[in-house]
Amino acid sequence: MNFSSKLIENAVTEISRLPGIGKKTALRLTLHLLKQKAPVTSALTEALIKLRNEIRYCAICHNVADKEVCSICESTKRDKSLICVVEDLPDVLALENTNQYSGLYHVLGGVISPIQGIGPDEINIASLMQRILHPPSGTPVEEVILALPATMEGDTTSFFITRKLKDHGVGVSTIARGIPVGSELEYTDEITLGRSILSRIKYSAE
Amino acid sequence: MNFSSKLIENAVTEISRLPGIGKKTALRLTLHLLKQKAPVTSALTEALIKLRNEIRYCAICHNVADKEVCSICESTKRDKSLICVVEDLPDVLALENTNQYSGLYHVLGGVISPIQGIGPDEINIASLMQRILHPPSGTPVEEVILALPATMEGDTTSFFITRKLKDHGVGVSTIARGIPVGSELEYTDEITLGRSILSRIKYSAE
């Protein structure tokens, strides 16, 4: 595209580096910002600069934090005997938004993937073992919930962690795989359907 | 949504103010920026800050410019006897990208819309008349091409400008409305089809 202004060209180039945003959308966003009053742009840029400069990662669980320890690890209302292991930050947000889980988290920052050269040492497994063996809160960890992706890499990582925890008297579980609420049986893929019938849940008679 | 970090929350709020970007996309973009190295974010914020602080509008045609007069008005290669009147900046970019037009532009910054309280004085019509009566380049303007939207407001504006120019010996034309290249007759709306048959183009026998 041919822009009559270098300033617009630069802004479009930088915005279009973001995932899922092409040149046309970038141009639309740029012209939108130009139409708005200056504080709209400065609020956006300040939030991004602050985010990038001040963000820290929790020393315990590697979740994003505004200080040394994140608000979840710090909270007195959370069940510190439960640790849910996730691949990355969005997973924590997704689980938090269910309002169904009140334990702690552990963000691995990836999953074991020999093809991509990611071994157990490249992700936060050592610090997971550390906090299970020497809980920073003093409360012993009773259960580790593996909420990793249902891929070969995710399964490998789950298996690796399960084996590591074997002799430490900690329960290990994984989140249920099954048919999403609202989905229909006939449109569910075979693997999910297969898993859902294998891990069927018994109704109690009472 | 419940974010464990105020910094992420602020970034998501600001990004989701952009048109067509919801909270989920904003979160994805925020986490993407966090995953990238710091210069990716600073290049983006610097481009936006520079854009907002340094952008100027051409004193002649109101197009965006990096200096007093935009590169199109300044160019010696453009036909200064032609002025194409458009509603806003994206229209200039769209026409420039056709590589078919070599005249000048005039950006109105809107169209006459009594419902929205936009009268002829709210848009750049006075400066259009000024540059037609006293051309800054010295070359007299021979033709004004109206490239305004095919809406009631666009038509009102075209009519208003045509009437204003009546006694000044300047030709007035409008861009052709018709069936887009590659479209099929049967799927074209009636108004476009009607206009395209009324403004049919004669083939010459030679």
pLDDT in tens, A148-189: 998 999 999 999 999 999 888 899 999 888 888 888 888 888
Q: Which one of A64-68, A106-110, A198-202 scores highest in mean pLDDT?
A: A106-110
Q: Which amino acid is at A39?
A: P
State the span(s) of chain B assigned CATH 1.10.8.420. 6-54
Kindly tell me the sign of the dihedral angle through the C-alpha atoms of A122, A124, A127, A133: negative
The pLDDT assigned to B86 comes to 95
pLDDT in tens, A2-58: 677 889 999 999 999 999 999 989 999 998 998 888 899 999 999 999 999 988 899
The CATH classification number of B6-54 equals 1.10.8.420
Q: Do B92 and A4 touch (CB under 8 A)?
A: yes
- The answer to whether A71 touches B4, Cβ cutoff 8 Å, is yes
Residue A143 neighbours by CB under 8 Å, 6+ apart = A81, A82, A83, A103, A170, A171, A172, A173
Instruction: Tell me the β-bridge partners of B143.
Output: B82, B171
pLDDT in tens, B121-148: 999 999 999 999 999 888 999 999 999 9
Query: For A56-81, what is the mean pLDDT?
Result: 90
pLDDT in tens, B156-202: 999 999 999 988 889 999 988 888 888 888 888 888 888 888 877 77
Residue B85, SS3 per DSSP: strand
Q: Which CATH number fits domain A64-174: 3.40.1360.10, 3.90.25.10, 1.10.287.3610, 3.30.70.20?
A: 3.40.1360.10
Residue A205 has pLDDT above 70, yes or no: no
State what percent of residues in chain B have pLDDT above 90.
55
Mean pLDDT for chain B? Answer: 89
Chain A contacts in chain B segment 63-82 (CB below 8 A): 63-66, 70-72
Would you state the structure tokens that stand for residue B129, as one six-digit string?
A: 């008349």
- The answer to whether B170 touches B132, Cβ cutoff 8 Å, is yes
Q: Which residues from chain A sit within 8 angstroms of residue B66, using beta carbons?
A: 5-7
Beta-sheet pairing, B79-86 with A171-174: unpaired
B14, B54, B72: residue with CB nearest A43: B14
- The answer to whether A95 touches A145, Cβ cutoff 8 Å, is no
State the span(s) of chain A assigned CATH 3.40.1360.10. 64-174
ipTM > 0.90 (yes/no): no
Instruction: Tell me the β-bridge partners of B73.
Output: none
The rounded distance, in Å, linking the Cα atoms of A115 and A89 is: 23
- For residue A109, give how far its alpha carbon lies from the nearest alpha carbon of chain B (Å): 10
- The answer to whether B188 touches B179, Cβ cutoff 8 Å, is yes
Mark B175-194 as b/e (b = at least 16 C-beta within 10 Å).
eeebbeeeeeeeeeeeeeee
Residue B84: closest CA among B118, B132, B49, B130: B132
- The answer to whether A111 touches A155, Cβ cutoff 8 Å, is no
- The answer to whether B84 touches B101, Cβ cutoff 8 Å, is yes
- The answer to whether A109 touches A88, Cβ cutoff 8 Å, is yes
- For residue A44, give how far its alpha carbon lies from the nearest alpha carbon of chain B (Å): 5
- For residue B65, give how far its alpha carbon lies from the nearest alpha carbon of chain A (Å): 6
Cα distances (angstroms) measured from residue B192 to each of B41, B195, B197: 45, 5, 9
